[in-house]
Structure 1
């Protein structure tokens, strides 16, 4: 699945944008869980503010949230904070695991999809970027990235 669809950002979540545009004053947006709606506390607050401005209530079926009352709004914010905390903890654990694996020589990152040595050799032979692109089928951006890398 595309990162934009699963990451903490609303960017790329076209169906959510379509849904928000479709809702009208007096409607209720019903979701199963708050983490299915927003990926971060700021994202959640933006969505809730948008819904409040449009006079649309938010109801979660698996969590006691109904933004038509004060208790529901408070609980929504608490759940949003905990959801973001959980996301950040998961990310920290992931980074710790990667660092440990790198230190042990287990994790070396994604395999190179281009022959960096060939690109560097072609450049050393005096070829320009355009000719390297033609011979390797690699985009200009990737050729420059390979040539500008300090360690391979």
Structure 2
């Protein structure tokens, strides 16, 4: 079967152009959705993807109707290929049912992987530069060293409980225990 998927972001947008193109492309069934493409979990798209069987072809009017990011697009198409389902985008003339279309899509996949690698490299370089300047990542501590010393002093009084000390510093008992352990106090 040739199955179409059309999407508009809001109820105000008109999908007639997409629907006409999908019908002209010979789609036997068309799934239509009014939902933002920002989210990968779209109910009608999920239903459409579940409907597809080996040998079917999914057709979209334009690539951005199926996915908003290259990464999501590549993941969806790879899933279709694993299930022996073809893919066509009418506007970009991509057709994974032939060799040229498969080549183009492999190039997209390589670009997505390259983009991911660049992001990882930049993140690591940024963290290394921050460490070189003496900055540490992560959340700021709820209790500084002086607070921990005061908490330990308070806890040396057997009449004061950990719950009371935690409440005094406006932290949970778990946070108090972690701070005490981090600073070498075993109370």
Q: Would the TM-score normalized by the shorter structure come out above 0.5?
A: yes
* Displacement of 1:71: 2.1
Query: Which of 31, 46, 52 lines up with 2:63 in the alignment?
Result: 31
* Alignment gaps of 5+ in structure 2: 1-36
**Contact 2:71–2:112 (CA<8 Å) still a contact in 1?**
no
Q: 1:54 to 1:138 in 2, by over 3 A?
A: farther
**Structure number having the greater strand percentage:** 2
Structure 1 segment 101-116 matched on structure 2, within 5 A: 101-105=130-134, 107-109=135-137, 112=140, 114-116=142-144
- Structure-1-length-normalised TM-score: 0.57
Structure 1 segment 21-60 matched on structure 2, within 5 A: 21-23=46-48, 24-25=51-52, 26-29=57-60, 30-32=62-64, 36-38=69-71, 44-45=74-75, 47-52=76-81, 53=83, 55=85, 57=87, 59=89
User: 2-side partners of 1:130 and 1:58: how far apart?
Assistant: 62
Structure 1 segment 116-135 matched on structure 2, within 5 A: 116-117=144-145, 118-119=147-148, 121-126=150-155, 129-135=162-168
Q: Which has the larger radius of gyration?
A: 2
User: 2-side partners of 1:133 and 1:61: how far apart?
Assistant: 62
Question: CA RMSD for the aligned pairs?
Answer: 4.0
Q: After superposition, what is the alpha-carbon deviation per residue over 1:60-107, rounded to whole angstroms, capped at 9, x for unaligned? A: 856x643233322232222212222222123213322331232134x4
Say which is worse superposed, 78-87 or 64-73, in terms of deviation.
64-73
Match of 1:125, SS?
helix
Residue 16 of structure 1 is matched in structure 2 by: 40
**Contact 2:148–2:179 (CA<8 Å) still a contact in 1?**
yes
- Structure-2-length-normalised TM-score: 0.49
**Structure number having the greater helix percentage:** 1
Residue 128 of structure 2 is matched in structure 1 by: 99
**Contact 2:162–2:173 (CA<8 Å) still a contact in 1?**
yes
Match of 2:71, SS?
coil
